[in-house]
Amino acid sequence: MTTEIMSSSIPLKLRVLHVLRLILGKIARFFFSFYYGSGGEKIPPITDDILKQPAIEVARRIRNKETSSVEVLEACIRRIKDVNSVLNCFVEDRFELAMKEAREADELVRSGTNTVQQIEREKPFLGVPFTTKDCIAVKGLHHTAGVVLRKDVIADEDADSIRHLRDKGAIIIGLTNVPELCMWWETHNHIHGRTNNPYNTTRIVGGSSGGEGCIQAAAGSIFGVGSDIGGSIRMPAFFNGIYGHKPSRGVVSNGGQYPMPESELQNSFLGVGPMTRHAVDLNPLLKIMSGENSSKLNLDTPVDISKIKIFYQFSNNAPLADDVDTDIVETMKAIIGFFSAKHNVTAKEINIGILKKSLAIWFATMKTKTTFGTFIMKKDTPGQICWEIVKNIFGLSGNTLIGLFTALFDYGGVKVGGERHKHFLKVRDDLEAHFKEMLGDDGVFLYPTHPTAAPYHNEPLFKAMNFSYTSIINCLGMPATNIPIGLGKEGLPLGFQVIANHNNDRLCLAVAEEVNRYFGGWVEPQKS
């Protein structure tokens, strides 16, 4: 362990900025709590039991004629119509085509052409409805990524991950909402508007897979597909109390994602993965989504929980980020105590000081020669961006305020190929090497997904750097799963993430299933 890995000093200027930001954040929290009040609008309870079942159980019932694909799809459509006027998570449907595919699935089951065992082997998710976010291509549907300039773009083929799932019988029923260009952790754009948290509609759903996290929490589809370049699966999963898995780098194809990463390094940060209400669905869905790369993950190899080594850290102590809520720390302590009592596994607390620089590493290594504004504006210059910011204040811009600030920010920072850029690439490589050595083939790292439960709408503007807990894991290319653990003192979901070494996704998924088994996971929103 090098000194640089284990410790990292924070310059005085950043410490002062950190204190000022904390003060500003507390003032903003007081204002938002006064403005929004308590819980916002309520959503109806779930009345169709099938929507509460794991995807693998829904698939089993369909192929065994205990229910039909048409019935399941109708339940999803009813639920979407019941909740979407309040949540605004679902943005485009293909209900008519999905119904045709559901009837075909039911006919295949009724025909007896294939045995139940053949269907389970060849089309394990036959007739199961699912959704995905509006930046992952679905043939015939819009492919906007929340960018007004792309509001008329229609995908001409499925993304690779969607195609793999459809090949195994799953039925795509529509798209869910995202932030502009999928580069912010509140879901809002000027095509479809803002998405509300099902546990408290005054709170955010996260981003960029925020609409997907929301619809899963509200039980509007049986499972979902998200993508993650800085926490875009795990943060929405955390805020919405569901499971979300970012796979190991390069395992699930990014083909059909918009925007596609410009560099191979950036591409290695992006992962497409499953989002579900039930931990048991993650493994079989990942097996399908990873296609021919599935063999690298050894997902069928049993995991002996009692032989897993557990490491943990409660905070990264990063400047400009919030302290981790007591609720979250206590949740993690309960999990650590459980593994000790149940499996005789003694977890080891560590302190990787360089995690203080998580965002500096992420911003530097995400940097490319193409600026962010190029994707969201017709003319990308600092002057034009400033003019759009003025227009935005008066409600006259097609861009979101955070999108414009991000575009302006992109003109600063490190220069690609410069000394500081090379420095942070080296720091990233050293940190990855340290994690690989620490975790080996039998270790996992427990770490907060986010330092706070879901903030109020627009509150992320005052705590922008809180995504440091997820973004650094993208830099390392390691698999990570958000694990929900009930609700906290505000009635909002809590949880944490578990990280493993490259291609050891099965360890993350096994821990998720074990925690789910004894602690529960997803909790129905606003259940009286």
- The three-class DSSP label of residue 420 is helix
pLDDT for residue 263: 86
Alpha carbons 235 and 282: distance in angstroms, whole number: 17
Catalytic residue from among 161, 232, 253, 468: 232
Of the candidates 302, 338, 255, the residue with the CA atom closest to the CA atom of residue 506: 302
Q: What are phi and psi of 335, to 5 degrees?
A: -65, -45
Of the candidates 182, 180, 200, the residue with the CA atom closest to the CA atom of residue 191: 180
pLDDT for residue 1: 38
- State the Cα angle at 279 between 274 and 283, rounded to 5°: 55
* Whether 114 contacts 236, CB under 8 Å: no
Under DSSP, the state recorded for 7 is -
Cis? peptide before 319, omega within 30° of 0? no
Q: Are strands 90-93 and 129-133 parallel, antiparallel or unpaired?
A: unpaired
Spans of all domains in the chain = 50-367+413-519
- Helix extents (H) in 88-138: 95-111, 116-122
Alpha carbons 10 and 143: distance in angstroms, whole number: 42
Alpha carbons 134 and 176: distance in angstroms, whole number: 6
- Chain center to CA of 377: 26
Alpha carbons 400 and 310: distance in angstroms, whole number: 41
Give the tokens for residue 525: 């929103």
Q: Which residue has the tokens 């773009």?
A: 153
pLDDT for residue 99: 98
Catalytic residue from among 8, 161, 208, 471: 208
**How crowded is residue 1: how many other Cβ atoms within 10 Å of its Cβ?**
11
Q: Which residue has the tokens 């940190």?
A: 431
Q: Reply yes or no on whether 208 is catalytic.
A: yes
Q: What are phi and psi of 487, to 5 degrees?
A: -115, 150
* Whether 307 contacts 267, CB under 8 Å: no
Give the tokens for residue 157: 């083929």
Three-state helix/strand/coil letters over 443-462? EEEEECCCCCCCCECCHHHH
pLDDT for residue 8: 61
Please report, as a single letter, which amino acid is at residue 71: E
Q: Reply yes or no on whether 42 is catalytic.
A: no
Q: Reply yes or no on whether 232 is catalytic.
A: yes
Alpha carbons 400 and 402: distance in angstroms, whole number: 5
Of the candidates 402, 400, 403, 384, the residue with the CA atom closest to the CA atom of residue 392: 400
Give the tokens for residue 432: 């990855």
Phi-psi region of 23 (alpha: psi -120 to 50; beta: other; left: phi over 0): alpha
Catalytic residue from among 123, 133, 139, 357: 133
The pTM score is: 0.96
- The three-class DSSP label of residue 70 is helix
Alpha carbon distance, N-terminus to C-terminus of the chain? 51
Of the candidates 187, 183, 207, 155, the residue with the CA atom closest to the CA atom of residue 375: 183
- The three-class DSSP label of residue 14 is helix
Q: Does domain 50-367+413-519 have CATH number 3.90.1300.10?
A: yes
* Whether 161 contacts 256, CB under 8 Å: yes
Under DSSP, the state recorded for 204 is -
Q: Which residue has the tokens 């929340």?
A: 146
Q: What are phi and psi of 135, to 5 degrees?
A: -150, 0
* Whether 526 contacts 43, CB under 8 Å: yes
pLDDT for residue 528: 53
Q: What separation in angstroms does the CA of 512 have from each of 48, 155, 211, 446, 506?
A: 26, 34, 22, 11, 10
Q: What is the pLDDT along the chain (528 residues), one digit of tens a residue?
A: 333 455 566 777 777 888 888 899 999 999 999 999 887 999 999 999 999 999 999 999 999 999 999 999 999 999 999 999 999 999 999 999 999 999 999 999 999 999 999 999 999 999 999 999 999 999 999 999 999 999 999 999 999 999 999 999 999 999 999 999 999 999 999 999 999 999 999 999 999 999 999 999 999 999 999 999 999 999 999 999 999 999 999 999 999 999 998 888 899 999 999 999 999 999 999 999 999 999 999 999 999 999 999 999 999 999 889 999 999 999 999 999 999 999 999 999 999 999 999 999 999 989 998 999 999 999 999 999 999 999 999 999 999 999 999 999 999 989 999 999 999 999 999 999 999 999 999 999 999 999 999 999 999 999 999 999 999 999 999 999 999 999 999 999 999 999 999 999 999 999 999 999 999 999 999 875
- The residues, any chain, with a CB within 8 Å of residue 453's CB and separated by 6 or more, are 203, 239, 325, 327, 328, 488, 490, 492, 493, 494
Beta bridge partners of 98: none
pLDDT for residue 17: 84
